[in-house]
Structure 1
Amino acid sequence: MGGLFSTFSTFGAHWAAWSAVVASGVFHGANPAMGWLFATALGLQRRSRTALLLALPPIALGHAASILLFTSSIAVLGAWLPVLMHTSGLHWVLGALLIGWAAWQHVRGHRHRVRVGMTAGFLGLAAWSALMATLHGAGLMLMPALLPMCGGAAASGAGVVGPLEVSVAFTALHTLVTLATTAAIALVAYEYVGLGVLRRGWVNFDWLWRGALVATGTLMIATA
């Protein structure tokens, strides 16, 4: 735990990276596909605020599992191949992957909607959340923020532990912000707005999400 807290203490040196983690958490939490829409619908169907609140932990857990999968993979890569973290080739590959993922979402993403029933249990809801985050490429959005920190930790001789602590800290902070945003929107929708707002008019988050993937990929390539 001490190592994790010391990782958060590097905020001053990497404020831009940590700010990006917080901003992405807000953006992910505001996306209906990441869980607040399901939690609200569940609460309205059962006419129970408790049902809504009980849906939030598995949604957050599944999202965290997906994010950790991506961030820890990059962390391990940075630990074992520290030189690669500073090469333009990796930035080009990850940037192209992000842009390609956005193109796939635009062309075929709508054909692979993941459906889950209102009777899904804790594990089922967590698995759905993890799959949704993975298919949307949520973890990939954190790559521009994660790469400099993992590369720095690896280059300074921190070894595997340092970069992995960074990935865990990134995942923890991102998940907490995402959960807070998801809970706030779900509760407002449940208590005051209802789901009718989606019929009257709503921001097209599919387009926003693809735009964010393209923007992140472009940033990766620009900083190569």
Structure 2
Amino acid sequence: MTASWPPGVPLSTWLVIAGLGAFHGINPAMGWLFAVALGLHRRSRQAVLLALPPIALGHALSIAIMATSVFTLSTFIDSRYIRIASGCALIAWGVYHLRYGHRHRVRVGMMTGFTGLVVWSFLMASAHGAGLMLTPALIPLCQTAATGLTGPLLASLAAVGLHTLATLVVTGTVAMLVYEWLGVGVLRRGWINFDRVWLCGLFGTGAWLIAAA
């Protein structure tokens, strides 16, 4: 029988967390397009690479807030109510983006530095509800973690770390591919409309959380 950590958490939970990180990484709005834009503006491959750590850090901070919230709420609120509240929040967030999302874009100039990139990435991840999308995996993770505060807390931190690593790897890979070979014209020629995919994810995950409560 394969051991799992925390005990009782299937490998599929960690795969979902990593998979969502990869999905966030391939989404232009989450960072790689900005990294490429900085590289082209400064005519430097190094600028692309240096943009990746602060982008990953900002994303991690946004995810960590949601993970901490789920961890805290799961200690004294029944998970059923957390699922329902999270599902409603995801659907409401999706409706907001459908109607007003295109009017409220986070704008940061090409001369921004490390702090500006961290803030931009944090706001983008938060505005897109990236942390909320992790709720289905975070709730059972905190529930089945070892008793006491240390187990769920470590599990939440591990989830944030794994998700961020997957995001960083995919973001960096796509950014370098686009900068070195494909060019930003690929967005016009054949890139997927991630806004629509993201909206489907928000509505679908929200509905699933409510139905599974």
TM bucket by the smaller chain? over 0.9
Aligned: 1:99 with 2:88: no
Residues paired across the two proteins, number: 210
Q: 1:32 to 1:211 in 2, by over 3 A?
A: same
Aligned: 1:84 with 2:78: yes
Task: Measure the CA separation in 2 of the matches of 1:52 and 1:11.
Answer: 40
Greater Cα shift, 88-97 or 117-126: 88-97
What is the TM-score of this pair, normalised by structure 2? 0.94
1:41-74 superposed Cα distances (whole Å, 9 cap, x missing partner): 1112222111100000000000000000001111
Task: Measure the CA separation in 1 of the matches of 2:53 and 2:24.
Answer: 15
- Asked whether the equivalents of residues 78 and 163 of structure 1 are also in contact (C-alpha less than 8 Å), the reply is no
Q: 1:220 to 1:120 in 2, by over 3 A?
A: same
Shift in Å at residue 90 of structure 1?
2.6
Shift in Å at residue 163 of structure 1?
1.6
- Asked whether the equivalents of residues 76 and 160 of structure 1 are also in contact (C-alpha less than 8 Å), the reply is no
The residue type equivalent to 2:192 in the other structure is: V
RMSD, aligned CA: 1.5
**Moved beyond 4 Å, runs of 4+:** none
1:152-181 superposed Cα distances (whole Å, 9 cap, x missing partner): 23xx6x222222211111100000000000
Task: Measure the CA separation in 1 of the matches of 2:47 and 2:9.
Answer: 41
Greater per-residue helix proportion: 1
For residues 1-224 of structure 1, what are the structure 2 equivalents within 5 Å?
A: 9-10=5-6, 13-79=9-75, 81=76, 84-85=78-79, 88-153=80-145, 158-224=147-213
The residue type equivalent to 1:187 in the other structure is: M
What is the TM-score of this pair, normalised by structure 1? 0.89
Task: Measure the CA separation in 2 of the matches of 1:13 and 1:143.
Answer: 15
- Asked whether the equivalents of residues 6 and 144 of structure 2 are also in contact (C-alpha less than 8 Å), the reply is no
Q: Provide the residue aligned with 1:3 in structure 2.
A: none
Work out the percentage of aligned pairs sharing the same amino acid: 52
